[in-house]
């Protein structure tokens, strides 16, 4: 790549493969906090590519706000409607107050009780993949996070397939209208569920969130509905991409799979490399509320800042041989769950699912083969494989 010419972050199809990693490497070396003006966009943003700067941005909730949206193509009216009512687009003190409630279902104690169920879901999915090899393994893998998060949230089994499809549509549809419509349908689903639970108290998950709990915090109906939708999305989409990416890499690198299968690498350690490598949450946006310095750049109030997690997870200053997939990598300080106040609530659950998947593969699968060309969704926000022609061999 020409060392004197900045590569185009908005080149058509850039995220339809993995070539963007070369683009990020250029920016880390030559312009780590750069001003970007997307074609046709009314305003630009500061692009942050180095690990240390990404962490600094994520940890600064005083001068950098989440209430203006946390992704580049945020719909301003939609963001305004949920600002400070939904965790991902809120700042303290509202964020602190709501997080005290929503972190409880994802505590070590609660998830410890769910571990056996997670193991069973994973075992069933892998068994189905072995019995009925599909042209696309995604059709099996997507069941794991959907079934797990729906079960934890106490949602009716008959709704799980619809929920999985609507969540994917809300994030991945190329049509903005369809994305907005799908989000609206999910909100409506939870409005009805909350109203029904007010009469019956049949859903323990929702009842636990609506009751005055040990934090002394009560939620409004809007906060409850918006964040139930956020939990569903966070527990569904991103883990699916990690599972797919990890399987893809193990199929392409059988020597790495042999290290896990032979007991030389703990599945929990390999999980962290799968998370570093997959980067399902590619970027996060903040908006400056007062002057702030990031790297060598002076950010003015009102300007947007976008951190690229995919770049931070390949930063040469932090990771040895960052472009090498190494299941035995230790001290793996990836940022796939973010950092600071907005670090992912569901990180423990995601780790539990991915580790259970690797343990199940180790006990039931001898090898895996790539039977075609994987396909990426092309998104620069929730990025990952949406087609994976891998066959698992018992």
pLDDT along the chain (394 residues), means of 10: 74 94 97 93 94 98 95 86 93 92 87 90 95 87 94 93 89 81 92 92 88 66 92 86 97 97 97 96 96 97 97 98 97 95 92 97 95 93 93 94
Q: What is the pLDDT of residue 42?
A: 84
- Per-residue burial over 195-217, b if 16 or more Cβ lie within 10 Å, else e, is eebeeeeebebbeebbeeeeeeb
CATH superfamily of 19-393: Cytochrome P450 (1.10.630.10)
Residue 300: DSSP 8-state: P
Identify whether the C-beta of residue 134 lies closer than 8 Å to the C-beta of residue 140.
Answer: yes
Confirm whether pTM is higher than 0.85. yes
* Beta-strand pair 292-294/45-48: unpaired
pLDDT number for residue 2: 43
Give CA angle at 390 (387, 252), nearest 5°. Answer: 105
Sign of the dihedral through C-alpha 386, 387, 393, 394:
positive
How far is the C-alpha of 17 from the C-alpha of 378, rounded, in Å?
7
β-pair type (367-370, 385-387): unpaired
Q: Show the tokens assigned to 378.
A: 């092309």
285: closest CA among 65, 20, 43? 65
Residue positions counted in the chain = 394
**DSSP helix/strand/coil, 259:** helix
């Amino acid at each position: 790549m020409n060392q004197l010419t900045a590569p185009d972050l908005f080149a058509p199809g850039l995220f339809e493969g993995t070539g963007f990693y070369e683009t990020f490497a250029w920016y880390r070396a030559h312009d780590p906090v750069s001003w970007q003006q997307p074609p046709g966009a009314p305003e630009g943003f500061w692009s942050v590519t180095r690990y240390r700067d990404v962490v600094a941005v994520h940890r600064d909730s005083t001068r950098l706000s989440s209430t203006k949206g946390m992704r580049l193509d945020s719909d301003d009216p939609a963001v305004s409607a949920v600002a400070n009512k939904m965790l991902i687009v809120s700042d303290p003190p509202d964020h602190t107050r709501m997080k005290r409630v929503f972190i409880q279902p994802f505590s070590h104690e609660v998830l410890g009780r769910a571990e056996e169920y997670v193991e069973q879901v994973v075992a069933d999915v892998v068994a189905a993949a072995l019995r009925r090899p599909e042209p696309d393994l995604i059709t099996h893998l997507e069941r794991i996070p959907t079934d797990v998060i729906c079960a934890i949230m106490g949602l009716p089994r008959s709704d799980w397939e619809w929920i999985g499809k609507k969540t994917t549509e809300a994030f991945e549809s190329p049509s903005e209208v369809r994305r907005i419509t799908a989000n609206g349908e999910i909100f409506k689903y939870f409005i009805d569920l909350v109203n029904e639970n007010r009469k019956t108290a049949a859903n323990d998950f929702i009842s636990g969130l609506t009751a005055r709990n040990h934090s002394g915090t009560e939620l409004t109906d809007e906060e409850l509905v918006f964040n139930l939708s956020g939990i569903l999305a966070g527990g569904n989409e991103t883990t699916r991409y990690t599972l797919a990416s990890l399987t893809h890499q193990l199929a392409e690198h059988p020597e790495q799979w042999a290290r896990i299968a032979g007991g030389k690498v703990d599945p929990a350690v390999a999980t962290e490399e799968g998370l570093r490598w997959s980067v399902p949450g590619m970027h996060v946006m903040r908006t400056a509320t007062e002057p702030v310095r990031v790297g060598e750049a002076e950010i003015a109030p009102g300007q947007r800042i976008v951190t690229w997690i995919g770049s931070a997870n390949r930063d040469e200053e932090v990771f040895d041989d960052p472009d090498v997939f190494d299941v035995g990598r230790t001290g793996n300080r990836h940022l796939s769950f973010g950092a600071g106040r907005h670090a992912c609530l569901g990180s423990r659950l995601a780790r539990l699912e991915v580790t259970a998947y690797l343990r199940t593969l180790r006990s039931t699968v001898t090898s895996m083969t790539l039977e075609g060309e994987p396909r990426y969704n092309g998104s620069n926000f929730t990025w990952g494989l949406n087609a994976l022609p891998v066959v698992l061999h018992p």
